[in-house]
Amino acid sequence: MASFLDSSARRYPSRANEKYRKSVSIPTVNIRRIFIFALESAGVGLVAAVALLLLRPAFLDRHQPVVELHQSAGIGLAGGSGDGDRAGPVSYADAVERAAPAVVNVFTARVITERRSPLLDDPLFRYFFGDSLSANKKRLETSLGSGVIISPQGFVLTNNHVVADADEIQIMLSDGRNAKAEVVGLDPETDLAVLKIELTDLPSVVIGDSEHIRVGDVVFAIGNPFGVGQTVTQGIVSATGRYKLGISTFENFIQTDAAINPGNSGGALINAHGELIGINTAIFSQSGGSQGIGFAIPESLAKDVMKQIIERGRVVRGWLGIEAQNLTPALAESFGLDNTNGVLIAGVVRGGPADQAGINPGDLVLTVDGKAVVDAHEALARISRSTPGTKIEVDGLRKGQPFQAQVEIIQRPTRLRE
């Protein structure tokens, strides 16, 4: 029987497992249905995610930080806004076009008499060679520079060293006109000069504000370098308040890396708005050409000098007759001070205002007219701007004890300018 069943099972395997197949149902796999189900699930999940972001956007803030960016508002260097005013970083043509017509070329000429050798006065020499060689020789020396038309009345501001000792001065404008210039006044102590030309319809520069310029501001130097014609060079303000350069007596220069070369002296230093902020004066160079260190007289100083020259014919400055020295940390500590503000009186001119007021060498001046003194340069500049006849209060320390003196400022003597 067993063998029969075994043989039957071998012959008819479906019959032998019929009972098992009835008790266990094996489902048929449908791949198409599974794929459709997966797509429907993904779609439902995507819709739920979008709805969550729209209805609860703050939900994601719990999981990642929010990055805040300060986007540019589209403000150009010229001060405009919007897409139409973004030409500043691309071109400064408008600023240059505004200032360039007021920058002029300055040509000077003077007759130089060459001193003859004393040997020519020897009778024996004159016997053999005659008197033709004994006569003084004269030659014409010419130079060039730049200037800036300050007002439509024809006043031109330039450097003193450009026109000093000139017998004739010619001004050439950018529009091709030229005129003879007369000297209104000179101020060697700031290396400034004011000229006057008689022409109509003159362009004039717009005066800027040199008191609030900052290191890094874009500037342009306009002038006539090497006589090639009007040229514009670009740079930035490298430093302000430069002094002790040995260029002039009263120094407060703007330093710039805008290329300044021989012939640029007296030309304009303008800002990105085309406004005058300085008069180009000197360069620091070992080769005679620009090395990226140029100096300009700030318009605030130049404007004050120009007004005095036009109104009075000369510059009047206050004077106390003192020699001042900056405080070092060691000196400040010896006086019992916790800072280096103030100046040490290193010398007093005998018979001068300070001497008459009882100020002595070794005195420490801390305030002038109630205002703190920062350093010697600032103190002397403040005194020089004071009107002669003005009385000022000086406070300080003398041998460790406070002292006060009243000093009457007088006009700076002319002999000190030589």
The pLDDT tens digits of the residues spanning 394-410 come to 999 998 899 999 999 99
- Taking only the tens place, the pLDDT of each residue in 281-314 is 988 877 767 788 999 999 999 999 999 999 988 8
d(Cα 106, Cα 194) in Å, to the nearest integer? 12
- Taking only the tens place, the pLDDT of each residue in 173-188 is 999 999 999 999 999 9
Q: Give me the residue label for tokens 């001193």.
A: 115
Q: Does the pLDDT value for residue 279 go beyond 70? A: yes
> Amino acid letter at 143?
S
Closest CA to 173 of 155, 194, 149, 195: 149
Query: Would you list the domain boundaries of the chain?
Result: 97-196, 207-304, 318-417
Which pLDDT band, with edges at 50, 70 and 90, does 381 fall under? Answer: confident
d(Cα 107, Cα 193) in Å, to the nearest integer? 14
d(Cα 123, Cα 395) in Å, to the nearest integer? 70
Rounded to a whole number of angstroms, the distance between the first and last alpha carbons of the chain is: 148
Who wins on pLDDT, 372 or 81?
A: 372
Q: What pLDDT is recorded for position 77?
A: 44
Q: Give me the residue label for tokens 């060459």.
A: 114
Are the C-beta atoms of residues 360 and 396 closer than 8 Å to each other?
Answer: no
Percent of the chain at pLDDT above 90? 49
Are the C-beta atoms of residues 42 and 34 closer than 8 Å to each other?
Answer: no
Question: How many residues belong to the chain?
Answer: 418
d(Cα 254, Cα 188) in Å, to the nearest integer? 18
Q: State the catalytic residues.
A: 161, 191, 265
Q: Does the pLDDT value for residue 63 go beyond 70? A: no
Q: Does 97-196 carry CATH code 2.40.10.10?
A: yes
Q: pTM (2 decimals)?
A: 0.71
Q: Which residues pair with 296 in a beta bridge?
A: 254, 280
The pair of structure tokens assigned to 372 is 């703190």
Helix (H) or strand (E) holding 32: helix 31-55
Least confident span in 58-62, 84-88, 136-140? 84-88
Burial class (CB in 10 A: 0-12, 13-18, 19+), 256: buried
Q: What pLDDT is recorded for position 62?
A: 52
3-state SS class at 130: coil
Domains 207-304 and 318-417 share a fold: no
Q: What pLDDT is recorded for position 338?
A: 86
Q: Does the pLDDT value for residue 111 go beyond 60? A: yes
Are the C-beta atoms of residues 309 and 185 closer than 8 Å to each other?
Answer: yes
d(Cα 300, Cα 307) in Å, to the nearest integer? 11
* DSSP label at residue 161: H
What value does the CA radius of gyration of the chain take, rounded to a whole number of Å?
Answer: 42
Are the C-beta atoms of residues 312 and 387 closer than 8 Å to each other?
Answer: no
φ, ψ of residue 107 in degrees (nearest 5): -110, 130
Fold of domain 318-417 = Pdz3 Domain (2.30.42)
d(Cα 386, Cα 131) in Å, to the nearest integer? 58
Which pLDDT band, with edges at 50, 70 and 90, does 30 fall under? Answer: low
Q: Which CATH class is domain 207-304?
A: mainly beta
d(Cα 396, Cα 372) in Å, to the nearest integer? 10
Q: What pLDDT is recorded for position 3?
A: 40
Which pLDDT band, with edges at 50, 70 and 90, does 140 fall under? Answer: confident
The pair of structure tokens assigned to 212 is 């609030």
